[in-house]
Amino acid sequence: MDKKFDLLTLGEIMLRLSPQGNERISKCKMFEKHIGGAELNVACGVSLNGLRTGVISKIPDSALGDFVRNKVRFNGVSDDYLIYDHDKDARLGVYYYEMGAFPRKPQVVYDRANSSITKLHLEDLNPEMYSNTRAFHTSGITLALSKDCRETAIEMIKRFKEAGALISFDVNFRGNLWTGEEAIECIEGILPYVDVFFCSEDTARLTFKKEGDLKQILKNFTEDYPISIVAATQRTVHSPKQHSFGSVIYNAKEDKYYEEEPYRNIEVIDRIGSGDQYCAGVLYGLLSSNMDCQRALAYGNARSAGKNTIPGDMPSMDKEEIDNLIIDHNQKGGYVSEMKR
């Protein structure tokens, strides 16, 4: 039976305020306003590639909530399952992001405590959603937000799985939300339900205490849990303005690794959301094919590399632009135009 959505995601939607250019948070007079959130970013990226997506979240019933809804719709993501918080203390989480310039690192300041989604409960949700999607995605950020949100998210994972959805999970560890020990204890409890698992090499080593080479680490996850596909990103930071990016995907059923030449010397305008776009590209590649990991790898790396060059959290490169990025990346020698025309 055809599903209404190819992908539904669950997560906090936040307001981002950034000083203009390379101004400091402590010194600037004006902030640029953006909307973001890991799972919304993923839904947006998959939508830009042509699939049907929706986001599940809880936001204030206010002008800020209207701003969020309008941005969600503008980016081609369904707001069917947005929940509006009518409490007088309803709030949208905020974070401040300051650009870096070598040797000064970028800086993030969060103001998200007690945001509306931290009070998310199962009774808030429309139960029809569980059978309305081919895939469901969330992350460790959502699990870390609050006890209520964590319990709700875990039960949602189980219900989506029972309804036949592909379950995708990104560790997306944030040390300011929980400790490594808390993260491992919680995440290990949901891994038996996960089909596609995203975990950066750094997180695998530092948080999960995995040892050995990266390929063996990925395989170990599938030996410990019934995970079908594990994807790990590899980012080399040359400076705040120049990165290289690649990844490795392991398919347990095929017992096969997928990798390609990294995108080197990316000119970084704004790296926020680039990891989310990796997830978006991989999920698009899998959902638009018969779980083709080579296709997933190509779209994941390209979407992430492209997002680094765009300001704000959310992506804006459509499938045609991403396809051209992949073609240029795979071209071995010869002329590549420096301009889109």
Integer Rg of the chain from CA: 19
Q: What is the rounded distance in angstroms from the CA atom of residue 316 to the CA atom of residue 307?
A: 8
Token pair listed for 108? 């993030």
Residue with tokens 């899998």: 286
pLDDT in tens, 80-101: 999 999 999 999 999 999 988 8
Position 30 in a domain: no
> What pLDDT sits at residue 338?
67
Q: State which residues form the domain around 196.
A: 7-14+39-95+113-329
pLDDT in tens, 99-140: 888 888 889 999 999 999 999 999 999 999 999 999 999 999
Would the pLDDT of 336 be above 70?
no
Position 274 in a domain: yes
Q: What is the rounded distance in angstroms from the CA atom of residue 338 to the CA atom of residue 315?
A: 21
pLDDT in tens, 173-215: 988 889 889 999 999 999 999 999 999 888 898 888 889 999 9
Average pLDDT for 27-40:
94
Token pair listed for 299? 């779209």
> What pLDDT sits at residue 207?
86
Position 198 in a domain: yes
Q: Residue 307: pLDDT band by 50, 70, 90 thresholds?
A: very high
Whether the CB-CB separation of 279 and 240 falls below 8 Å is answered with no
> What pLDDT sits at residue 21?
84
Whether the CB-CB separation of 18 and 36 falls below 8 Å is answered with no
**Considering only CA atoms, which of 199, 152, 157, 153 is closest in space to residue 180?**
199
Looking at residue 277, its amino acid is: Q
Position 176 in a domain: yes
> What pLDDT sits at residue 94?
96
Position 215 in a domain: yes
> What pLDDT sits at residue 337?
64
Q: Residue 73: pLDDT band by 50, 70, 90 thresholds?
A: very high
Would the pLDDT of 339 be above 70?
no
Distances (CA, A) of 102 to 17, 19, 199, 240: 22, 17, 27, 6
Output the domain CATH number for residue 61.
3.40.1190.20
Whether the CB-CB separation of 180 and 174 falls below 8 Å is answered with no
Residue with tokens 């989480």: 93
Position 122 in a domain: yes
> What pLDDT sits at residue 202?
87
| Residue/partner pairs of 154-160 with CB below 8 Å, 24 or more apart | 154/189, 154/190, 155/122, 156/10, 156/56, 156/122, 156/125, 156/130, 157/190, 157/193, 157/194, 158/193, 159/130, 160/8, 160/130, 160/133, 160/136
Would the pLDDT of 335 be above 60?
no
**Considering only CA atoms, which of 36, 323, 15, 46 is closest in space to residue 168?**
46
Number of helical (H) and strand (E) elements in the chain, helices listed first? 10, 14
Would the pLDDT of 150 be above 70?
yes
Instruction: Compute φ and ψ for 80, nearest 5 degrees.
Output: -55, -35
Q: Mean pLDDT across the chain, nearest whole number?
A: 94
Mention every residue, 6+ apart, whose C-beta is less than 8 A from residue 194: 157, 167, 168, 169, 225, 227
Q: Residue 331: pLDDT band by 50, 70, 90 thresholds?
A: confident
Position 240 in a domain: yes
Would the pLDDT of 38 be above 60?
yes
What predicted TM-score, i.e. pTM, was given to this entire model?
0.95
How many structural domains does the chain have?
Answer: 1
> What pLDDT sits at residue 240?
87
pLDDT in tens, 232-279: 999 989 998 999 999 999 999 999 999 999 999 999 999 999 999 999
Average pLDDT for 160-169:
98
Coil, strand or helix: which one is 237? strand
Looking at residue 37, its amino acid is: G
Position 101 in a domain: no
Q: How many CA atoms lie within 13 A of 119 on its CB side?
A: 16
